[in-house]
């Protein structure tokens, strides 16, 4: 195995062991075959205890059907990550929420498992459920308001409308949200409603008034409150009340100032039992439940009870003694004992002599208004609590976070942002963002933030901040009020990626510059994935041609079956392997002999082999020629040692005989000896010719 592969394996193991997420490997029967250390930390189960329980033993009963469906989908979709959320039993006997991502690698021979990557999201789930409950409660409070209710932002655009106002105006939510109010109601410019809204925007004070809107034949009571840079506005349809007032004015000219109930009493006694009632209009009888005859001659104090505001009533008594107009809001009681809030104004009736003769009380049942105010207070408190909870969440998350409004003024800066960017919350809040980071106005972050605001879409990106020499992963979320930004320091991760890229670059350079033919081969399909220049030069194929071919295309037919067997045997060998000398066919049809060595590598997402080929054709031809020459030399040596020796021995034996003949015997005997010598010499000559032919 190469050093790079070893380093990568060590790095991979360290990443798993240091991961905060749990990793579990399951076989085809869902039995655990491996658990990372973080899996034990999350669930508390040690390996020995965990192996005693099946997945179903630990899954919350109500979640088992969902988990079954999830795992069926995992089995049916190899290599595709599928995520699910369910509850599982931990070692302490408590069910925790796990967010699990299953990936089916059962068909991958290197893994042969289902990988489960999971994290404990119990706190997040409980927080989400809590926020959903509070959001529902807030919505319920708003929906329970019987008046129309709208929210306008600092630009006088609608950000919220309730169902009552939509019914009142005969409009849809989509026709109002995000729209400028005076574009929708241009004919209301200059009206009392317009003046009330303008006053609250300018002076940030509460305004309450009535107005008539002719296009809808609507009388409305407006209660306008300042809220941040915008307003909250309650609108009550008082058309019926206004019409009743008109009717009463026409019918009872004496009660010119009456808007609701009217009560007239004597001026005295102010002490107990109090002045007697001499007149009550119909509105009063409807409001209190008393008939006209039942109330006449009684004191207004019969309307008071245990929850009446004694301070308000004391104030009323003091004003009456000074003959001053007085407005009071308190709880009164109807004939049936039911409480209701009443707002009334008491005016003294003075005769021509300047003496107070009567008191007129103009009364209004403000129960709904008071309840709405209480509901508003409760809603504001709920909103305040939600914002406080939001602040707690933003301070507790691991990411740095800041928010800006539409003018790029910083409205939030959490503690992690202080730590990451070395700027305190006190220093940053209410400051113009780009005044604090002037060196970033040409940065990618600057462009992306503006893009998010302009498109209204969330943007995720990475950026490098030169002053800190740091890389950040950034998510920007636009809203009607501005931009929220989450970011985290990813410098170490980027360094690791750059190191990996450099490693890959070094591998590519070694691969391409090698003087020996090299190629990368898909183990499963035998397709060429990459080739170097030396391979292109030796085989005569272009790189494009190579990448459409398989290894079979350069092997002779008789070697193909052998090739498949060799590849099958070598597939699971991780170490460097010598494949031996095989025949290859070049593009021009020439057969060459190559010596192959291979090693398994991961090429992208493919299991591959890198193969080095050395052309040994000429070397083997030379070796064969030498071996053939040696064989001839061995034959010559044999001839010398066996065939030459016999005639030579005969000649050497005849020569002494010839020398030893006497003169009388030289004639006949000499002739015979010479004949033998001649025969032996011819035989020796023929042997020498044969040796020469061998050479």
According to the model, what pLDDT value does residue 85 have?
93
3-state secondary structure of 223: strand
Please write the tens of the pLDDT for every residue from 479-497. Answer: 888 999 988 888 888 887 7
Q: How far apart (Å, rounded) are the C-alpha atoms in residues 160 and 181?
A: 12
Specify burial of residue 535 (Cβ count, 10 A radius: 0-12, 13-18, 19+).
buried
Compute the C-alpha angle 346/347/351, nearest 5°: 145
Q: Which of 187-201, 241-255, 344-358, 584-598 has the highest mean pLDDT?
A: 187-201
Which stretch of 42-46, 63-67, 573-577, 610-614 has the lowest confidence by average pLDDT? 573-577
| Span 346-359, average pLDDT | 82
Contact 193, 174 (CB under 8 A): no
Angle at 324 between CA 277 and CA 346, to 5 degrees: 35
The sheet carrying 339-350 orders its strands as 277-280, 261-266, 356-365, 339-350, 326-333
Query: 145-174 pLDDT, tens per residue?
Result: 778 899 999 999 999 988 888 998 899 989
CATH of 130-237, one of 3.40.50.2000, 3.30.450.20, 3.90.550.10, 3.40.50.1370: 3.30.450.20
| Residue 185, pLDDT score | 92
| Cβ atoms 266, 272 nearer than 8 A | no
Q: Which of 50, 34, 119 is nearest to 85 (CA)?
A: 119
Classify the C-alpha dihedral 210-213-219-222 as positive or negative. Answer: negative
556 in Cβ contact with 564 (< 8 Å): no
Using CA atoms, how far apart are residues 591 and 27, in angstroms rounded to an integer? Answer: 47
Report the DSSP beta bridge partners of residue 410: 404
pLDDT at residue 34 in the model:
87
- Of 326-340, 379-393, 603-617, minimum mean pLDDT range: 379-393
**SS3 track for 411-478:** EEECHHHHHHHCCCHHHHCCCEHHHHCHHHCCCHHHHHHHHHHHHCCCEEEEEEEHHHCEEEEEEEEE
- Tell the residue number behind the tokens 């002999």, with chain if given: 593
Task: Give the mean model confidence (pLDDT) for residues 4-17.
Answer: 55
H or E segment at 159? strand 158-161
The mean per-residue pLDDT over the stretch 454-464 comes to 90
* Confidence class for position 659, pLDDT limits 50, 70, 90: low
For all residues of the chain together, what is the average pLDDT? Answer: 82
State the Cα–Cα distance between residues 339 and 353, nearest whole angstrom.
Answer: 40
Closest CA to 145 of 210, 230, 211, 236: 236
Q: How many CB atoms lie within 10 A of CB 466?
A: 9
Residue 110 has phi, psi (to 5 degrees) of -80, -25
Instruction: Retrieve residue 5's tokens.
Output: 């592969």
The answer to whether 556 and 546 are in contact (CB under 8 A) is: no
Query: What secondary structure letter does DSSP report for 622?
Result: H
CB 263 within 8 Å of CB 279: yes
Fold agreement between 3-120 and 620-694: no
Q: What does the DSSP 8-state code read for residue 216?
A: G
Helical pair 666-694 and 645-659, crossing angle rounded to 10 deg: 160
CA pair distance 159, 152, nearest whole angstrom: 6
Q: Using CA atoms, how far apart are residues 585 and 552, in angstroms rounded to an integer?
A: 10
User: Which tens digit of pLDDT belongs to each residue from 625-636?
Assistant: 767 766 766 666
The pLDDT, as a whole number, for residue 670 is 66
Q: Count Cα atoms within 13 angstroms, Cβ side, for 424.
A: 2
Quickly state the pLDDT bin for 6 (edges 50, 70, 90).
Answer: very low
Do residues 493 and 500 lie in contact, with contact meaning Cβ atoms separated by under 8 Å?
no
Edge-to-edge order in the sheet of strand 591-603: 528-531, 518-522, 606-615, 591-603, 577-585
Nearest alpha carbon to residue 235 among 181, 272, 283: 181
- pLDDT(298) > 50: yes
The whole-angstrom separation of Cα 551 and Cα 468 is 52
What is the distance between the alpha carbons of residues 296 and 281, in angstroms, rounded to a whole number? 11
Report, as an integer, the average pLDDT of 387-396: 62
Contact 372, 145 (CB under 8 A): yes
Per-residue pLDDT, averaged over 29-49, amounts to: 87
Strands, E, within 228-284: which ranges?
Answer: 230-237, 261-266, 277-280
3-state secondary structure (DSSP) of residue 629: helix
Beta bridge partners of 346: 326, 361
Structural tokens at position 340: 């209701």
For domain 620-694, give the fold: Helix Hairpins (1.10.287)
Segments making up each domain of the chain, as ranges: 3-120, 130-237, 241-365, 397-493, 514-615, 620-694
- CA distance from start to end of the chain: 50
The number of beta carbons lying within 10 Å of the beta carbon of residue 438 is 8
pLDDT value for 7: 53
Between CA 117 and CA 39 the distance in angstroms is 9
- Planar angle of CA 423, 429, 433, nearest 5 degrees: 75
* pLDDT higher than threshold 80 for residue 257: no
Sorted by sequence, the CB contacts under 8 Å of residue 280 that are 6+ apart come out as: 261, 262, 263, 264, 290, 292, 295, 296
Which CATH number among 3.90.1570.10, 3.30.450.20, 3.40.50.300, 3.40.50.720 corresponds to the domain 514-615?
3.30.450.20
The CATH architecture to which 397-493 belongs is 2-Layer Sandwich (3.30)
Q: Render pLDDT for 121-130 as a digit per residue (tens, 0 to 9).
A: 988 888 888 7
Task: Name the fold adopted by 3-120.
Answer: Beta-Lactamase (3.30.450)
Average pLDDT, stretch 579-602? 84
How far apart CA 324 and CA 330 sit, in angstroms, is 18
Contact 434, 421 (CB under 8 A): no
Collapsing DSSP states into helix, strand and coil, what is residue 131? helix
C-alpha to C-alpha distance for 301 and 313, rounded to whole angstroms: 10
| pLDDT above 60: residue 568 | no
Buried b (16+ CB within 10 A) or exposed e, 367-392: bebbebeebbeebeebeeebeeeeee
CATH for 241-365 (3.30.450.20, 3.90.170.10, 3.40.50.620, 3.40.50.720): 3.30.450.20
The 8-class DSSP code of residue 77 comes to: S
Tens digit of each residue's pLDDT (9 = 90 or more) over 517-526:
888 888 888 8
What is the 3 state secondary structure string of 87-111? EEECCCCCEEEEEEEEEEECCCCCC
| CA angle (349 as vertex; 344, 354 as ends), nearest 5 | 145
How many CB atoms are closer than 10 A to CB 95?
Answer: 16
Copy the structure tokens of residue 400: 């740095």
Q: Say which DSSP state 522 is in.
A: E
Taking only the tens place, the pLDDT of each residue in 400-430 is 889 999 999 999 898 888 888 888 989 999 9
> What pLDDT digit, counting tens, does each position of 208-228 carry?
999 999 999 999 999 999 988
Q: Which residues, 6 or more positions from 221, have their beta carbon under 8 angstroms from its beta carbon? A: 208, 209, 210, 235, 236, 238
């Amino acid at each position: 195995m190469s050093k790079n592969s070893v380093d990568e394996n060590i790095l991979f193991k360290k990443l798993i062991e240091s991961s905060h997420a749990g990793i579990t490997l399951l076989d085809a029967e869902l039995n655990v075959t491996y658990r990372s250390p973080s899996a034990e930390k999350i669930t508390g189960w040690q390996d020995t205890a965990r192996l005693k329980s099946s997945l179903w033993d630990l899954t919350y009963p109500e979640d088992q059907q969902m988990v079954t469906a999830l795992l069926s989908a995992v089995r049916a979709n190899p290599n595709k990550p599928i995520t699910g959320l369910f509850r599982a039993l931990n070692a302490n006997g408590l069910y925790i929420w796990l967010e699990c991502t299953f990936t089916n690698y059962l068909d991958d021979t290197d893994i042969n498992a289902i990988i489960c990557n999971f994290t404990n999201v119990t706190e997040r789930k409980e927080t989400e459920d809590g926020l959903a409950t509070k959001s529902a409660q807030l919505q319920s409070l708003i929906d329970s308001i019987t008046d129309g209710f709208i929210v306008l932002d600092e630009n006088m655009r609608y950000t919220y409308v309730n169902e009552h106002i939509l019914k009142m105006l005969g409009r849809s939510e989509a026709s109002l949200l995000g729209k400028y109010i005076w574009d929708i109601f241009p004919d209301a410019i200059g009206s009392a409603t317009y003046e009330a809204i303008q006053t609250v925007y300018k002076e940030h004070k509460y305004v309450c008034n009535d107005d008539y809107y002719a296009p809808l034949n609507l009388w409305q009571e407006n209660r306008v409150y300042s809220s941040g840079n915008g307003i909250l506005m309650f609108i009550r349809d008082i058309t019926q009340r206004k019409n009743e007032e008109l009717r009463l004015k026409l019918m009872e000219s004496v009660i010119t100032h009456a808007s609701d109930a009217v009560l007239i009493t004597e001026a005295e006694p102010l002490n107990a039992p109090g002045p007697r009632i001499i007149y009550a209009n119909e509105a009063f009888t409807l409001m209190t439940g008393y008939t006209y005859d039942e109330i006449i001659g009684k004191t207004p104090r019969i309307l008071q009870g245990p929850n009446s505001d004694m301070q308000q009533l004391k104030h009323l008594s003091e004003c009456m003694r000074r003959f001053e107009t007085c407005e009071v809001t308190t709880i009164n009681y109807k004939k049936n004992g039911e409480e209701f809030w009443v707002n009334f104004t008491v005016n003294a009736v003075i005769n021509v002599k300047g003496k107070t003769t009567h008191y007129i009380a103009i009364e209004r049942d403000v129960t709904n208004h008071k309840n709405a105010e209480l509901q508003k207070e409760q809603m504001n408190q709920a909103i305040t609590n939600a914002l406080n909870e939001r602040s707690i969440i933003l301070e507790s998350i691991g990411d740095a976070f800041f928010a800006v409004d539409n003018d790029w003024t910083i409205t939030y800066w959490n503690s992690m942002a202080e730590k990451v960017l070395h700027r305190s919350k006190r220093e940053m809040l209410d400051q113009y963002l780009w005044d604090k980071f002037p060196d970033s106005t040409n940065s990618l972050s600057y462009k992306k933030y503006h893009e998010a605001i302009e498109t209204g879409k969330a943007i995720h990106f990475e950026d490098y901040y030169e002053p800190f020499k740091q890389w950040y992963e950034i998510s920007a979320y636009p809203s009607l009020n501005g931009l929220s930004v989450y970011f985290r320091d990813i410098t170490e991760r980027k360094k690791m990626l750059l190191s990996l890229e450099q490693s890959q670059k070094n591998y590519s350079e070694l691969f391409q510059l090698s003087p020996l033919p090299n190629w990368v081969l898909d183990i499963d399909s035998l397709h060429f994935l990459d080739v170097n220049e030396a391979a292109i030069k030796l085989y005569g194929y272009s790189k494009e041609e190579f990448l459409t071919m398989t290894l079979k295309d350069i092997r002779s037919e008789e070697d193909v079956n052998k090739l498949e067997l060799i590849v099958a045997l070598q597939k699971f060998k991780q170490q460097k392997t010598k494949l031996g000398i095989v025949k290859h066919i070049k593009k021009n049809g020439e057969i060459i002999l190559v010596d192959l060595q291979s090693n398994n590598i991961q090429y992208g997402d493919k299991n591959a082999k890198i193969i080095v080929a050395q052309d040994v054709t000429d070397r083997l031809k030379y070796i064969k020629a030498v071996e053939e020459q040696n064989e001839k030399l061995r034959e010559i040596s044999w001839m010398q040692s066996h065939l030459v020796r016999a005639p030579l021995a005969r000649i050497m034996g005849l020569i002494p005989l010839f020398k030893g003949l006497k003169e009388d015997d030289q004639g006949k005997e000499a002739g015979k000896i010479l004949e033998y010598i001649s025969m032996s010499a011819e035989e020796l000559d023929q042997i020498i010719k044969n040796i020469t032919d061998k050479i």
